[in-house]
Structure 1
Amino acid sequence: MTAITAQVPAARPLLKRRTVLLALGLVLLAVVPLVGNDYWLNALIIPTLVMGLAGVGLNLLTGYAGLVSLGSAAFMAIGAFSTYNLLLRAPGIPLPLALIVAGLIAAAAGVLFGLPSLRIKGFYLSASTLGAQFFFEWLFTNFHWFSNDSMSLTISAPRLAFLGYNLSSPAGRYALVVVTILLLLWLAHNVIDSRIGRDWMAIRDMETAAAVTGIPVGRRKLLAYGVSSFFCGIAGALWAFCYLGTADAHAFDLDKSFQVLFIVIIGGSASLFGNFLGAAFIVLTPIALDLLVMALGLDGLVDHGTVTNLLHVIFGAIIILLLIKEPDGLASLIGRLARRFTAQPQRGSP
């Protein structure tokens, strides 16, 4: 009887998360397309969701396993170029299968560049993953086979279709992004709640103690790099084909890796929901600042280059201020505000 009752509280958080995920999926699939127009879907919502997915990939590695990576964009590029070549050279392959295989190719590359984690830690490990960033950017730029011998070295979005449905329209691309993200979030939740996730967190908190208790530290680290790169690879394919339309290797440069890192830091470490808050901040804040400059009429006083640099300065200052005031990220801030809001009626009750 005690064992049964002990299992019930443990199952409640998982059931609650799955219920929230289901409700979120219904809102994204049924409500958002009715409210938002094509501009909102193309320019705001799709990039926010895709970058949030890339943040989930990095957060599984950094927030839950305690490992470091500065090459997230490299694995996004692998996913994009792999999906392009799979759909181009194997026309009969279904789109979901192409995304999965491309994610597995990115996962294999992640495991390969994660091998140094078995020996080194910290700054030196980040330098190793930084090498992946420069290597794959060089590879996709200098070997034209990956871009089908295109003179511009760009890859264009193939015809996005599945089961007879054309997904090339803004609504279709949005549906593809949402369904893919919901499935991967479901996968991420299950991984975190499994023994693998618990082993990752044990390694993150104290690697020596984890090794003493029998956790295969080396294999778990490589698995973390593989799973993280799998998520980033699929995010890269969605970024290239559902948002950009055309992309080259420079679309996944070092700046993109830093953006993914900022998403994790701003949203909150070890928080899946926080990644989408961080992505919204990264994607929407520059647009909001640009609109504010135009509303104040400042764009007519100085040239466009000065305004752009000023926006970068303001954006960086906001990030620094946020990190100082809320080092645990936006997810922690919203959670604290929610608890304070729900606790207010209890204080006034007799």
Structure 2
Amino acid sequence: MAATATGVYHRSYARDLAIHHTRSERVRLALVLALVIVAPFVAGPTWLTVLNQIGIAAIGAIGLNLLVGSTGQISLGQGGFLAVGAYTAGLLTAESGLPFLGGIAAAVLLTAAVGAFFGLPALRLKGLYLAIATLAAQQIILWVIRNWEGVTGGVDALVVPAPTLLGIDLSTDFSFYWVILAFAALSALVATNLLRTGIGRAFVAIRDQDIAAEAMGVNLTRYKVLAFAVSSGFVGLAGALTAYDTKIVTFERFTLDVSILYLAMIIVGGLGSVSGAIYGAVFMIGFPAYIRELSSFGGPLEFIGADLPAVQALIFGLTIVLFLIFEPRGIARIWGRSKDYFRLWPFRT
């Protein structure tokens, strides 16, 4: 019989390996599924757009969390990798007429290759130095996009045709919501199961102590580059979905601010946790939208609308600082403690 620190006991390997161990977890999953299915039917146009942005951000945050939270390799180049995915899918669809799924696949593969290339410095660099190297990757990618005018169009916007899938028009936010939801669910499932494989355990071993991991036979070169490739593949998927969702691609969408935003998502949500990446995306995308909604009501909150960018920046920075000080493991840890409290009540651990 295998036991956990949360009072959950497993009598078989199958139960121990299950993603959802208890009935309450399965009930919560069913409630979440019901919520995301009902949401587009009750949300207005503005909030439907926000929901699509949250879904896309969750995919990118899951990928970044695999690299930063699970492997311990810092990256400030996510904006650039998003741009690679967006421009790859957009150009192949607009110029070559590649179908929707073909553009998605090409974006994932090319972004993974670019991520692996820029991940090579991770073999020699750590911490701040690796962050600077990935920041250089961000700037290099955007420089190429701006100056390779014959391919990317330079500073001009790239117009992406409305996607279709199996003859279904996906030009509306409502129809594309289901595509984003499917890819987000698939990304979460793939990332969760990846961390339970030998590859995932190698990632975690590198994060905890790379020298000890190498002594145990983990090939640091292979797994560090693989971590960058896998992470960038997820981010490339998010970039491609961004291109198809907005139907306009410009390099201004993928600045350093975007890279920092994604890093904030996984810090606030919870490093090393797939669910934490989703929580972080919901909070960091949904909360500013909620602030904008409040400012539109006028009254005492009307002043927020006048200085909305400054207020958002203040809340953004304050949120990160508070989480780093009081709960470095993010929303995922807060939620986990809450579940454990009610599961073990009236007992304490």
Query: TM-score of the superposition, structure 1-length normalised?
Result: 0.88
- Show the counterpart of 1:142: 147
Q: Is the 8 A contact 1:46 1:174 kept in 2?
A: yes
Q: Is the 8 A contact 1:70 1:126 kept in 2?
A: yes
Q: Is the 8 A contact 1:25 1:178 kept in 2?
A: no
- Show the counterpart of 1:31: 38
- Show the counterpart of 2:334: 333
- Alignment of 1:109 onto 2:114: yes
1:45-84 mapped onto 2 (5 Å cutoff): 45-84=51-90
In 1, Cα distance between equivalents of 2:120 and 2:190:
24
1:169-180 mapped onto 2 (5 Å cutoff): 169-180=172-183
- Show the counterpart of 1:273: 275
- Show the counterpart of 2:211: 208
- Show the counterpart of 1:324: 325
Pick the aligned partner of 1:234 from 234, 237, 243.
Answer: 237
Are the structure 2 counterparts of residues 269 and 311 from structure 1 closer, same or farther at C-alpha, using a change threshold of 3 Å?
A: closer
The AA in structure 2 aligned to 1:325 is: F
Shift, 1:145, TM fit: 2.9
Are the structure 2 counterparts of residues 311 and 205 from structure 1 closer, same or farther at C-alpha, using a change threshold of 3 Å?
A: closer
Higher helix residue share: 1
- Show the counterpart of 1:126: 131
Shift, 1:143, TM fit: 1.5
Are the structure 2 counterparts of residues 256 and 301 from structure 1 closer, same or farther at C-alpha, using a change threshold of 3 Å?
A: closer
Count of matched residue pairs: 339
Shift, 1:251, TM fit: 0.4
- Show the counterpart of 1:158: 161
Deviations 1:79-114 (A, max 9, x none): 0000012212332x3312220121110000001000
- Gaps in structure 2 of 5+ consecutive residues: 3-10
In 1, Cα distance between equivalents of 2:28 and 2:187:
11
Deviations 1:247-306 (A, max 9, x none): 2111000000000000010000011111121112211222333344454635766993x4
In 2, Cα distance between equivalents of 1:168 and 1:125:
40
**Partner SS, residue 87 of structure 2:** helix
Shift, 1:312, TM fit: 2.1
In 2, Cα distance between equivalents of 1:106 and 1:233:
5
Identity between Structure 1 and Structure 2 (%) = 33
Pick the aligned partner of 1:264 from 266, 289, 298.
Answer: 266
In 2, Cα distance between equivalents of 1:144 and 1:28:
44
Shift, 1:190, TM fit: 2.1
Indicate the RMSD between aligned Cα atoms, in angstroms: 2.8
In 2, Cα distance between equivalents of 1:320 and 1:209:
32
